[in-house]
Amino acid sequence: MYHNTGHGRLGTVLFILSPALQSTRPSQCTSSQQLSASSPVAMAQYSGFKQLLIYAVSMFIIALSFYQWDMSQRKREERIHETQELRKQPLRETCAGDKETFKHHLEDVRNNELANLIVDDKQAGWNALTEERIHETQELRKQPLRETCAGDKETFKHRLEDVRNNELANLIVDDKHGIIYCYIPKVACTNWKRVMFSLTKDEPYPDPASISPDLVHLPNILPFLNSFPRSEIKVSPHNDTSKVSNGYNQEALTFSFLQAKLKHYTKFLYVRDPFVRLFSAYRNKFQEHNEYFYQRYGRHILRLYANQPDPPQSLKEANASGMRVSFQNFIQYLLDPLTERNEPFDPHWRQMQRLCLPCLIKYDFVGHQETLQQDASQLLKILMLQDNIQFPPSYENMTTPAFLLDWFSAVPLEDRRKLYELYEQDFRMFGYKRPRELLDG
């Protein structure tokens, strides 16, 4: 359901390309003199053959990489199976060898002898949440995505060629396991980056919880999709020479290595209630000690929205004078049309759909911060990594709807409604209800 294996890709690629190769290949009897004296159409056909040959080689290489990835997955499964068999074998032998000592029937067991067996029907246990239920949950989460994208094809980007390179900056790629993760700041991204970093190492993988959170946020620590070349190979699929230009058909097949990864890898992201995420960003960047965000945004916000023409030069001085960016100041900054005319929103409060382009990228798994541990367990099982990686424990979310009510009470109702409009697509796409208690007065 979630994986695309590499079996048969080599044969399929060669089978598909073989007629085209035969149709565009110059005759073996054609001499170099005949070729040089041939018409421009024949020259274009010969050039088209060279382009098609490049395409065929590229397809062979990418198919081979997927085949190797599939084989590594199978070997991992075999190692897990062998390890489990080795552990179970002495159990079976001992139990079979002494049927009098050990109990083999449930009716022979007293109730208190079952006291150490913990049953968890609600949390992360894979056995409690069947694959069918997980599929249903994912379909429910993807449905509003599909509907929103289909209903507004002008607003959202649907084609890779319409996307700038910096718009792919949040997509982390793991070629070894065939994974693409779109990270969204303030949605468990530190822990998932720690997992992705662990997977770059050799087995046995280091415990993600042992990896420094600061390390995974450093530049160039993880491979991102926009670091791969956008090389495209264009070849003519037909012998229609009326549209030949520069050696290949203008209605050409287009092949991109980025497109191959986006099509075949397992892609996932985690989302969160947009207003809860927004407040979490405010609290983390402006209520806690963060000199960078004070210099980068805080002084500007105080100057424009807090009537402070000359804010303190440092955060330490600002705190000593009792001067802080209020939540209302932060909302005013977001709602000011001039904010995004100067530069895009910072990723910590940029809309989730702008960070992860869900109308372009068909995600296989949509996780929710609200069910983080449960979803993490399901995803690791889907990726066949549940025996190799333990998702780090996370603190319970302190930001509750009641908590938000208190903070939004200082924000004028009109501003709350404008803020909802600013993040409405996130609410709609990811299935979060309109917060009526904040917007209906």
Q: What's the confidence (pLDDT) of residue 241?
A: 41
**Once rounded to an integer, what is the mean pLDDT over residues 141-158?**
90
**Once rounded to an integer, what is the mean pLDDT over residues 405-410?**
91
Q: What are the tens digits of pLDDT across the range 332-362?
A: 999 999 999 989 999 999 999 999 999 999 9
Q: How far apart are CA 292 and CA 315, in angstroms?
A: 9
The mean pLDDT value of the chain amounts to: 81
Q: What's the confidence (pLDDT) of residue 400?
A: 66
**Once rounded to an integer, what is the mean pLDDT over residues 142-160?**
89
Token pair of 162, please?
Answer: 């319409």
Token pair of 245, please?
Answer: 């230009």
Token pair of 259, please?
Answer: 């497109």
Q: Which residues contact 187 (CB under 8 A, 6 or more apart)?
A: 270, 271, 272, 277, 352, 369
Q: Which residues contact 160 (CB under 8 A, 6 or more apart)?
A: 256, 258, 259, 262, 360
Report CA 4 to chain centroid distance, whole Å.
Answer: 17
Which of 277, 272, 269 is closest to 376 using CA atoms?
269
Q: What's the confidence (pLDDT) of residue 247?
A: 43
Q: What's the confidence (pLDDT) of residue 238?
A: 43
Q: How far apart are CA 324 and CA 213, in angstroms?
A: 27
256 touches 160 (CB < 8 A): yes
Q: What's the confidence (pLDDT) of residue 258?
A: 82
How many other CB atoms sit within 10 Å of the CB of residue 190? Answer: 18
Which of 328, 213, 318 is closest to 279 using CA atoms?
328
Q: What are the tens digits of pLDDT across the range 10-37?
A: 444 434 444 444 444 444 444 444 444 4
Q: What are the tens digits of pLDDT across the range 234-257?
A: 444 444 444 444 443 433 444 577
**396, pLDDT greater than 70:** no
282 touches 346 (CB < 8 A): no
Neighbour-count burial of 192, counting CB atoms closer than 10 A to its CB (0-12 exposed, 13-18 middle, 19+ buried)? buried
Q: How far apart are CA 131 and CA 136, in angstroms?
A: 9
380 touches 125 (CB < 8 A): no
Which of 180, 269, 270 is closest to 222 using CA atoms?
180
Token pair of 267, please?
Answer: 């892609």
Which CA distances in Å does 295 have to 183, 292, 314?
25, 5, 7
**Ranges 80-94, 280-294, 319-333: which has the least confidence:** 80-94
192 touches 218 (CB < 8 A): no
Which CA distances in Å does 77 have to 88, 127, 289?
16, 18, 46
HEC letters along the chain: CCCCCCCCHHHHHHHHHHHHHHHHCCCCCCCHHHHHHCCHHHHHHHHHHHHHHHHHHHHHHHHHHHHHHHHHHHHHHHHHHHHHHHHHHHHHHHHHHCCCCCCCCHHHCCHHHHCCCCCCCCCCCCCCCCHHHHHHHHHHHHHHHHHHHHHCCCCCCCCHHHCCHHHHCCEEEECCCCEEEECCCCCCHHHHHHHHHHCCCCCCCCCHHHCCHHHHCCCCCCCEHHHCCCCEEEECCCCCHHHEECCEECCCEEEEHHHHHHHHCEEEEEECCHHHHHHHHHHHHHHCCCHHHHHHHHHHHHHHHCCCCCCCCCHHHHHHCCCCCCHHHHHHHHHCHHHHHHCCCCCCCCCHHHHHCCCCCCCCEEEEHHHHHHHHHHHHHHCCCCCCCCCCCCCCCCCCHHHHHHHHCCCCHHHHHHHHHHHHHHHHHCCCCCCHHHHCC
Between residues 325 and 116, which one has the greater pLDDT? 325
| Cα angle 27, 31, 33; round to 5 | 135
Q: What's the confidence (pLDDT) of residue 111?
A: 59
**Ranges 117-121, 301-305, 332-336: which has the least confidence:** 117-121
Token pair of 90, please?
Answer: 């002495």
Q: How far apart are CA 286 and CA 291, in angstroms?
A: 9
**Ranges 77-86, 179-188, 264-273: which has the least confidence:** 77-86
Q: What's the confidence (pLDDT) of residue 411?
A: 95
pTM: 0.70
- State whether the Cα torsion 20-21-24-29 is positive or negative: negative
